[in-house]
Each structure stands twice: as structure tokens, then as C-alpha cells.
Amino acid sequence: MKIDLKKFDFESNKILSSLSEKSRSIISAKSEHLKFKKGKLIFYEQGIPTGTFLIKKGRAKIFKTGLDGKDQIFYVYKEGDLLGYHALLCNESYEDSCEALEDCEIDFISKTNFDRLVDDIPQLKQLLIQNMSHEFGVLVNTITVLAQKPLRERLALWLLILNEKYYKEEIQLPREDLANLIGTARESLGRLLKDFKEEKLISIEGRFIRCTHTSKLLRIASSEYA
């Protein structure tokens, strides 16, 4: 079965972009501009939510730390994505952590302002509910891939996702994060990246990875290879 990369996209950028310009201006006026250095936590597992976050610049990862202390990355957010609102709507503590992958600029909307905005902008509430439903499907797809697909297929899939959604030319994700994203040890990732390079599926220059044969990577991710 051919992999549909869109089924692995939260589409969190569509929440606010789907609103009218007037509504977006109202939200912007209620926001506080914050900066997070690379490696800083934006929120953390079991923390009490105090607001929601809109990435204006940079990328951030959401992850959960297992009993063995190993992180499992579930998603990478980029510019335009709204995040952290799930815990607010559920009135629960965070189930995961979010860390800046690079220096980030973020608009923070406090819980008080967020609650008022949801009441004052009916379409916002509808979009949040729709997106939560969509994200559930994305997480189901992600968990299924992690549980059922071999490592080779998982790596091919995530290289395609990273290439398509975030980087376009050169993937700049640290090796440790890439290993945590596909659910393997860094050493195993290194060996497989070497294999992919020898098969001319990718090229590697330092910490940068370039997908040089996306059609074959897609066939591998879709289990359509000999």
C-alpha cells in the first residue's frame, strides 16, 4: 500500500490560518511574544498548562520519556503551528514534553485569554475540535508504523516526511533526535544511514542529509520493494 505522507501531518498550522484576518488580529493582540533557545523546554510532561503556543519562527519536538529514560519523539512542529491547547481544553496536565529544536520565537496565549477567545470566536472552537480529531488519526498512524514496520521502512518514511514538510533540500535534524523519532538506537540508525547512502538513496555531508531518490524511498516506506 502506498504511503500517504499527509496522514502523518497534524496540520496544526491550519487552525489559525483558516480564521478571518479580523479573528487572527484579535488573537495576536491577546498574545505575548516569547523566545526559547535551542534545547529549552516549552512545556513539560505532567506540567500544569498555563496557555497555548503559536510558533512564529523555528521548530520544536514533542516527546515522551519512557521508563528506561529513552525519549520517543512523536512529532515536529514548525512555523505557523498551534500547540499545547489539548491539555487546556481537557483541563489536564501535559502528557508529553515540548522542546525547541532550534532557537524559536513563539506567541504565547494565556489560559485566561485562550478561554475568552474560544468563547468569542465560535469558529476557533470548531477548528480546534476538528484538528484534535485529525491529530488522533495521525498519532494512530504513527504508532502503527512504530509498532509494525521494520526499521528500514520507518527510516525511509520519516526521511520523506522531514524532507517534504520541514526542510525541502537538506534535513538538519540531529542524529539522536532522528533515532528517537523512528524508535531505534543511534548506532542502528548510523548503520542504516550508511546503507541508504551506499544505495544512493541519500547523500550525507556532515550533519546534513539530502534525499536523492525520493521515489525509491517511497517504495521502501510503502513496502513496495524486493
Which of 63-72, 86-95, 181-190 shows the lowest mean pLDDT across its residues? 63-72
CATH of the domain at 205: 1.10.10.10
Specify whether 159 is located in the same domain as 82: no
Q: What is the mean pLDDT of the chain?
A: 92
Specify whether 99 is located in the same domain as 183: no
Of 106, 124, 145, the one marking the end of a domain is 145
Question: Which three cell numbers, joined as nine digits, stand for 179?
Answer: 533515532
With respect to residue 36, please indicate whether it lies within any of the assigned structural domains: yes
Per-residue pLDDT of 136-175, as tens digits, reads: 999 999 998 888 899 999 999 999 999 988 877 788 889 9
Residue 225 reports pLDDT greater than 70: no
Specify whether 118 is located in the same domain as 132: yes
Angle 82-88-94 (CA atoms, 0-180°, nearest 5)? Answer: 90
Number of domains in the chain: 2
With respect to residue 178, please indicate whether it lies within any of the assigned structural domains: yes
Question: Which three cell numbers, joined as nine digits, stand for 59?
Answer: 521548530
CATH of the domain at 43: 2.60.120.10
H helices of the chain, in order, are 14-17, 21-29, 85-90, 111-120, 122-148, 151-162, 175-182, 186-198, 214-221
Residue 40 reports pLDDT greater than 60: yes
Specify whether 141 is located in the same domain as 157: no
Residue 224 reports pLDDT greater than 80: no
With respect to residue 226, please indicate whether it lies within any of the assigned structural domains: no
Higher per-residue confidence, 170 vs 116? 116
With respect to residue 190, please indicate whether it lies within any of the assigned structural domains: yes
Percent of the chain with pLDDT over 90: 80
Q: What confidence category does residue 226 fall into, taking pLDDT thresholds of 50, 70 and 90?
A: very low
Specify whether 160 is located in the same domain as 137: no
Domain residue limits at 164: 150-221
Percent of the chain with pLDDT over 70: 98
Which of 20-29, 50-59, 216-225 shows the lowest mean pLDDT across its residues? 216-225
Specify whether 64 is located in the same domain as 121: yes
Specify whether 130 is located in the same domain as 155: no
